[in-house]
Amino acid sequence: MSIAVVMKGVPMRKSIFRGNTVSRRGLLRSGLVLGVGTVAAMALSGCGEEEEVAAPAPAATAAPTQVVAATEAPPSMEKVTIKMWTASVEDINPIHEEEVANFTSMMPNVSIDLTLVPWSDVQTKQLTSLAAGDKPDIAYTHSELNSTFAWRGVLQSLDEYMAADGDFDRDDFFAGPLENLSYRGKVNGVPMYSGPVIFVYNREMIGELGFDDPWEMYQEGNWTIDAYEQIVRAAATGSGADRIYGDRELPNALKIWWLWIQGFDGQVWNDKVSESLMHEANALKTWDWLTTLVKDEVWADSTVTGAFSGGAEGMFVSRKMPFYTASRWVTTNIPEEFPAATAPMYKMPNGDDNGRDGTDGVGMHADTKHPDEAWAVLKHWATDVMDRFVEIRYTNPTRRSVLNSPAWAAAMATWDNVEVHNASLEQIRRGFYHPPGYREINTILKKAYDEVKLGQKNSADAFSAIKPDIDAILQESSE
Amino acid sequence: MQASQVSSPARAAPRISRQRLKYYAQGYAFISPWIIGTALFTVYPVAYSAVLTFTKFDLLTPPEYIGAGNFDRMIGDSQFPTALINTAYYTFIAVPLQLFVALIMALFLNQQLRFINVFRTLFYLPTVTPTVASVIIFMYLYNPDFGFFNVALGWFGIPGVKWLGDPNWAKPALILLSLWYVGGQMVIFLAGLQSVPDALLEAASIDGAGTLRKFWHVTIPMITPTIFFNLVLGIIGSFQVFTVAFIATRGGPIDSTLFYVLWIYRHAFENLNMGYAAAIGWVLLVIILIFTLLQFAISQRWVYYEAEGS
């Protein structure tokens, strides 16, 4: 059917059509109008796809009706499907999928509808899914977002399930990862990943610089922040393509920085978490220490490591730096034959050697209709499935009982040392509470940090200037 | 509508023949997937986002009506002018530069050479390369120590800069990167150049015009509709720049690459301020609309449409 036929009888004043032809101006104009319309629609639809929203639910839930062990008979033979969202990581996805089948073979009335979302997107996608009213029974959580989920009633407390389940040994879990998934004293998630801060280093480069081995220094009680700084400063030499750095800049996140703030006797928040204290004298010592190492080009700026093939790990393997401050799962590309070694966290200026863990986990949605079955799934993933993740080197154990297993010792690279990881697991403290709004706070902080790093402001001015904005965010959730 | 179909004098509703009804029904049936899709996935979200502008909405709990609170907040938000200025800076430098480079490339590729189609394909290829991959490659090139750009500057004794790590250089670095994607504009220019009538160019030659004079007085006026088209779409696209900054700089350093849409994203999906993000998005719509209307108004003075003889 021609355009002319379709348009027959329709008055077309100033039409783009002239008879059966289209004028050039008309075509361009209509194209532009269509473009503007589409652009506007796209810009706005990105912000408006949420239709239904999760109704607020109490953060704490009623006691479990009957706790189910995965190996026991279910309370009823009612067919139940548990929707589970978690992060997708290439190495562990086959295990997730196998365990879905394993679980159903143990509890035939329970099937698991598993959604694996790439790790980098899981937070955003799960948020939009929740906003659209699609509520998984088991949701992904992370220490960064856990408080927000709990505060907004998305995740419920698991304490009573843990207490009521005779098969679940809560005391076997390291305290740090569980605390990372807690809100106001209640645990909202079980850990599925643990990777404390460790120092990966090149033994040969450090030996050539004339320093002792950091792990030996740790065992002798001499592994301190000063010892570390001496080595990285000595290592930083050369320029241009021959540049060698001491280590990489610490990842730009308060969830990492807080260790050093407290190590310099500073505080992140006040006790009520209603006010930032990161502008106070001891905290400022941290900012100065961190930024000076970057300004002095001892630490490779994140724009250097981020723009290197393989990132910071690539620089370490390319012998562009003798240290690589990391956690276990980002050391997978270090070759077996590489002269690498590991050391736990050093002693800070105040003598503390607290470690930090960015715990991933899964929690139970407050609105789940099948809490008992959901708990059985959670427990299975937190224990049996986690053991398999440990075996393939994806994570460190989250339970003490695993430390004695041959599988854990066998999960080491040839250059790695199980004793270092055991020591670093004991170092994990929560120490820092991620309040609701943490990510917004982190963005604000990063700007201040960059201002100091780039010499535009001194630390006192930069961190005092952002205090009102941070306090406003904190006060919203502390009310 | 025919007069005979209107029943007079009662002015009853016009009767439509069964055949015509069937005709309409068929037409609507054919376009119904598009209508339904647009209604569900464009019109409804756009309308809903307009509603959200008046709410506080964190994605996890129901939206709470706050009147014009989001717009009040925007006025006092120091990041509003920052995002706007960064975006305007990017737009008003990147777009003319892109047009210039695309036109130059189109002129080169408008020659009658052997393998010209191969060259055209090669120059267009970056446009179909995934943006993320291209940005990561450029990040390597911008590496202050090991990147190609600083190494190349070093050959001429020029000290390198920190590119993406320097607030003064981060935006120019991203503008430079945007030139990688001018293939689409180049193809449109190429089509425009090929539609310039040979007769006009021959007539100009006979009158003694040289290459530059023909280009300036014949080619450019004849392709003004193409320039206008690329300009308007370029400005709209640049106002929405997001991916390059999201991957390469995350808006830093010190908010120097905090572009408007990145700012929307931050509030919507990182800070969980969806209501505020919707308000910011609507303001962007108004800004783009104003700029586009302004360009249409100004275009009357400089765009020449041969077919209309204007």
B62 found inside a domain: no
B236 found inside a domain: yes
Q: H-type helices in chain B, by residue range?
A: 18-38, 44-52, 69-76, 79-108, 116-128, 131-141, 148-155, 170-178, 183-194, 198-206, 211-214, 220-222, 224-239, 243-248, 260-265, 274-302
Does the CB of B261 have a partner CB in chain A at under 8 Å? yes
- According to DSSP, the β-strands at A360-364 and A340-343 are unpaired
Q: Are B255 and A447 a contacting pair at CB < 8 A?
A: yes
CA closest to B145 among chain A residues: A240
Residue among A35, A47, A443 minimizing CB distance to B268: A47
CATH number for the domain spanning B93: value is: 1.10.3720.10
Residue of A10, A44, A129, A447 to mutate, interface with B, max B Cβ within 10 Å: A44
Q: Which domains are delineated in chain A?
A: 80-193+359-420 (3.40.190.10), 197-249+301-354 (3.40.190.10), 250-296+437-479 (no CATH)
Does the CB of B142 have a partner CB in chain A at under 8 Å? yes
Residue among A35, A152, A447 minimizing CB distance to B61: A152
> Are B75 and B207 part of one and the same domain?
yes
> Are B172 and B238 part of one and the same domain?
yes
What confidence tier does B281 reach under pLDDT thresholds 50, 70, 90?
very high
**Residue B152 near residue A241, CB atoms below 8 Å:** no
> Are B137 and B7 part of one and the same domain?
no
How far is the alpha carbon of A274 from chain B, nearest alpha carbon, in Å?
18
B226 found inside a domain: yes
The complex's ipTM works out to 0.82
Q: Are A44 and B285 a contacting pair at CB < 8 A?
A: yes
* Phi, psi dihedrals of residue A365, rounded to the nearest 5°: -65, 140
Task: Give how far Cα A458 sits from Cα of A24, A285, A468, B251, Å.
Answer: 59, 11, 18, 21
Residue among B1, B60, B225 minimizing CB distance to A130: B60
Q: Please give the mean pLDDT across all residues of chain A.
A: 84
**In degrees, to the nearest 5, what angle opens at C-alpha A439 toward C-alphas B288 and A275?**
115
Q: Are B146 and A41 a contacting pair at CB < 8 A?
A: no
Which structural domain, as residue segments, surrounds residue B192? 71-308
B58 found inside a domain: no
> Are B196 and B272 part of one and the same domain?
yes
What confidence tier does A38 reach under pLDDT thresholds 50, 70, 90?
very low
B60 found inside a domain: no
Q: What is the pLDDT of residues A345-392, one digit of tens each?
A: 999 999 998 888 888 899 999 999 999 999 999 999 999 999 999 998
Residues of A in contact with B78 (CB under 8 A): none
B59 found inside a domain: no
pLDDT at A48 over 50: no
Q: What is the pLDDT of residues A72-85, one digit of tens each?
A: 444 557 899 999 99
> Are B39 and B179 part of one and the same domain?
no
> Are B165 and B296 part of one and the same domain?
yes
Q: What is the pLDDT of residues A86-104, one digit of tens each?
A: 988 888 999 999 999 999 9
CA distance A451 to A130: 36
> Are B37 and B153 part of one and the same domain?
no
Residues of B in contact with A239 (CB under 8 A): 145
> Are B152 and B22 part of one and the same domain?
no
How far is the alpha carbon of B203 from chain A, nearest alpha carbon, in Å?
24
Q: Are B146 and A243 a contacting pair at CB < 8 A?
A: yes
> Are B46 and B173 part of one and the same domain?
no
B99 found inside a domain: yes
Q: What does the buried/exposed string (b/e) look like for A100-113 if buried means 16 or more CB atoms within 10 Å of the residue's CB?
A: bebbeebbeebbbe
> Between A and B, how many residue pairs show a Cβ–Cβ distance under 8 A?
187
How far is the alpha carbon of B128 from chain A, nearest alpha carbon, in Å?
20
Give the pLDDT confidence score for residue A121 in this predicted structure. 83
What confidence tier does B280 reach under pLDDT thresholds 50, 70, 90?
very high
Residues of A in contact with B140 (CB under 8 A): 307-309
> Are B288 and B186 part of one and the same domain?
yes
CA closest to A154 among chain B residues: B60
Domain count, chain B: 2
> Are B77 and B36 part of one and the same domain?
no
B41 found inside a domain: yes
> Are B114 and B244 part of one and the same domain?
yes
Give the pLDDT confidence score for residue A76 in this predicted structure. 56
Q: What is the DSSP letter of A110?
A: E
How far is the alpha carbon of B198 from chain A, nearest alpha carbon, in Å?
19
CA distance B215 to B213: 5
**In degrees, to the nearest 5, what angle opens at C-alpha B292 toward C-alphas B289 and B293?**
85
